[in-house]
Structure 1
Amino acid sequence: MAIYTDNNKGVEITLEPGESISAEPSAFCYSDGFITAKTTTGGIMSAVKKLVTKEKLFQVLWTNKGDKPGRIGFASPYLSTIEEVEVSPNYSLIAQRGAWLASDPTVKLDVTMNLGMSGFLGGEGIIFQKFTGSGRVFITAGGDLKAINLERGETLNVDTGCIVGFAESIKYEVKLAGGIFTSIFGGEGLVLAKLNGPGIVILQTHPENVINKVVSSGSTQTSANFSNIDLSDGLQANELGTIARNIFGNRE
């Protein structure tokens, strides 16, 4: 069971005795004392792929070692939203780099590369995360999320930065945004992604690069993730409490 905060920037997951969940190392926020952590690489070949593609090498497996249900909370990066997606043997998910927050152990996380011209030209780059198997996948994205179901033969043009993920059945390619003049001076960049159905497409309203530009244009001390908080920089306990309440809400 997963319980989301009002703004979907945090999620609390209930683990039954003996049940586990895998998560991105910096995603952890809190858990009951009988839930333990074990660091894994996901296998030798998976580790090699991550090193080559500069993905994070490790993931954490959290397991309920108690005799009753336990809770564990994960937080998404600042200004991003968490979405739960179900994968199955008939439904695999392709997602942008860094989208993965957590997933059931029955879900396999792999790295796939788009070596065609669409990979080199598209704003999402040539590296994607691929989820196969069966179970829940919790992904993060900037701003609000929108899922669009494309029928067979139906197409959708999207700013490449707005793509969070799509079903493996979706054909992904890029194209010029109008003519060269339009591409350069129209404010939409040089290329757009063309997604061909059938399958689900998940979009975000605020791509990470846009958020980073907004944050960097303001205070350079703004932290985007709990893992970046350094108490030596003078952040006090009451400020940490304010951050936590903003994400998870006041539980009093």
Structure 2
Amino acid sequence: MKISSGRMQCLKEIQSQINYFFKDTNLLNTSLIHSSYANENKKYNNESNERLEFLGDVVIDLVVSEYLYKRFTEFPEGELTKRRASVVCESSLAFAARKINIGKYLLLGKGEENTGGRHRDSILADAFEALLGAIYIDGGLKSAEDFLLEHFEQEVIYALSKGSLFIDYKTELQEVLQKRTKSKINYQVEKEVGPDHRKKFYMNVIVENKVIGKGMGRNKKEAEQNAAKQVLLKMGERSE
């Protein structure tokens, strides 16, 4: 893919920001191409960042697992698994993506652009994973690990390990709705998509037999949290 001079300037900017300079700039560019843009510009044969996202997901799991293993030597396997699930979730990855202003450099389709996709947690989290995948291919595991811990450790991994960053949207929603209704909140899986090692869960929030919100996550707990967050956003109790 031929990269325009204007786009190349954007790519130089983000490389300076993340303090990693690509040998293959095309990898960086691909990591920032959302599927909506690729689908709307098929004549240019743009590959979306989905394959790099798949790779980055594995790299993040590996680096975070090793980090937690070494840092929390007293924790058994089950506790380490819980901690990793708290760290490697959509909200924390989106948090890290915002830290490096990744949304500014994304290529989005018109629909996603017009509906706020540049600021959406799911798109930002996927782009952060794709960027990690691109760095891994370009510079190897050490480069990916250095980048991840530089931009992920202090504000996210450590904070989440202490339980100070993660927002419990389910509890927050329960408290908000208790002021308005005595009805019970139910969370129900609408569908599961993808292979077992990369499954995505789509969850409905149900009150009085009505679906009042939806959310998606890499596991059921994350999907429930994202669904509760969407209800809070719709109710005006939270902002993006």
User: 1 or 2, which has the higher helix percentage?
Assistant: 2
Assess same fold via TM > 0.5.
no
User: 1 or 2, which has the higher strand percentage?
Assistant: 1
TM-score after normalising by structure 2: 0.25
TM-score after normalising by structure 1: 0.24
